[in-house]
Amino acid sequence: MALLDQNWNPARREGAALFWYTVSTSFGLATDSIRAHKLRSFLTLLGVIIGVGSVILVGAAINGINVYAEESTSKAFGSESFFMSQVTNASSRKEFFDKLKRNQRIDWTDFTYLQEALGDQIIYSPYMGLREDVKRGSETVEECQITGSFAALPEIRDINVEAGRFFTEQEDLARQQVVIIGYDLQERLFPGTNPLGRTVTIKGREFTVIGVQEKLGSAFGQSQDTSAYIPYRTMTRVWGPNRNMTVLGKARPETGMTLQDALDSTRVAMRVRFKQKPNETDKFDTLTPDAIRGFIENITNLISAVVVPVTLISLVVGGIVIMNIMLVSVTERTKEIGVRKSLGARQSDIRLQFLLESALLAAFGGALGIGFGALLSFVIGKAFELTMSISLFYILLSLTVSGTVGIVSGIYPAFRAAKLDPVEALRAD
Q: pLDDT (tens digit, 9 = 90+) per residue, 209-241?
A: 999 998 877 655 567 788 999 999 999 999 987
What are the DSSP calls for 263-295, one per residue? HHHHHHHHHHHTT--TTSPPSSEEE-HHHHHHH
- Answer yes or no: are the C-beta atoms of 105 and 244 closer than 8 Å: yes
Closest CA to 84 of 325, 273, 351: 273
pLDDT of residue 79: 72
Q: Do residues 392 and 69 touch, judged by C-beta distance below 8 A?
A: no
pLDDT computed for residue 190 by the predictor: 93
H or E element, residue 325 = helix 289-332
What is the per-residue pLDDT across 296-338, written as a single tens digit (0 to 9) for each?
Answer: 777 778 877 877 787 777 777 778 888 888 888 888 878 877 8
For strands 199-202 and 205-213, give the pairing. antiparallel
The Cα 250–Cα 121 span in angstroms is 9
Tell me what the pLDDT averaged over the chain comes to.
Answer: 83
Q: How far apart are CA 418 and CA 400, in angstroms?
A: 26
The mean per-residue pLDDT over the stretch 55-81 comes to 77
75 has pLDDT over 80? no
* pLDDT score recorded for residue 363: 82
| Position 6 pLDDT exceeds 60 | no
Sign of torsion, CA 364 367 368 369? positive
Count helices and strands in the chain by DSSP H and E runs: 15, 12
Q: How confident is the model at residue 30 (pLDDT cuts 50, 70, 90)?
A: low
How confident is the model at residue 57, as a pLDDT?
A: 87
Alpha carbon distance 334, 361 (integer Å):
20
Q: Check residues 320 and 85 and name the one with the higher pLDDT.
A: 85
Of the two residues 132 and 319, the one the predictor is more confident about is 132
Please tell me which of 18-22, 376-380, 384-388 the model is most confident about, judged by mean pLDDT: 376-380
Rounded Cα–Cα distance for residues 126 and 243 (Å): 12
CB 160 within 8 A of CB 214: yes
Average pLDDT estimate for 340-357:
80
Across 80-109, average pLDDT: 88
Report the predicted TM-score, pTM, of the whole model to 2 decimal places: 0.65
Residue 227 pairs in a beta bridge with 145
Q: What CA–CA distance (Å, rounded) separates 194 from 212? A: 10
Which among 157, 27, 5, 13 has a CA at the least distance from the CA of 80? 157
Q: Assign 9 a pLDDT band (cuts: 50, 70, 90).
A: low
- Report whether 291 contacts 89 (CB < 8 A): yes
∠ CA 202-208-210 to the nearest 5 degrees? 120
209 burial class (0-12, 13-18, 19+ CB within 10 angstroms)?
buried
Q: Any idea where the domains of the chain sit in the sequence?
A: 28-70+294-427, 104-283
Residue 428 predicted with pLDDT over 90: no
Residue 148 has pLDDT above 70, yes or no: yes
Residue 203 vs residue 313, higher pLDDT: 203
Of 403, 300, 314, nearest to 53 by C-alpha is: 314
Tally of CB atoms within 10 A around 240 = 8
pLDDT at 8 (0 to 100): 47
| Cβ 217 vs Cβ 225: under 8 Å | yes
% residues pLDDT > 90 (the chain): 33
Residue 399 has pLDDT above 90, yes or no: no
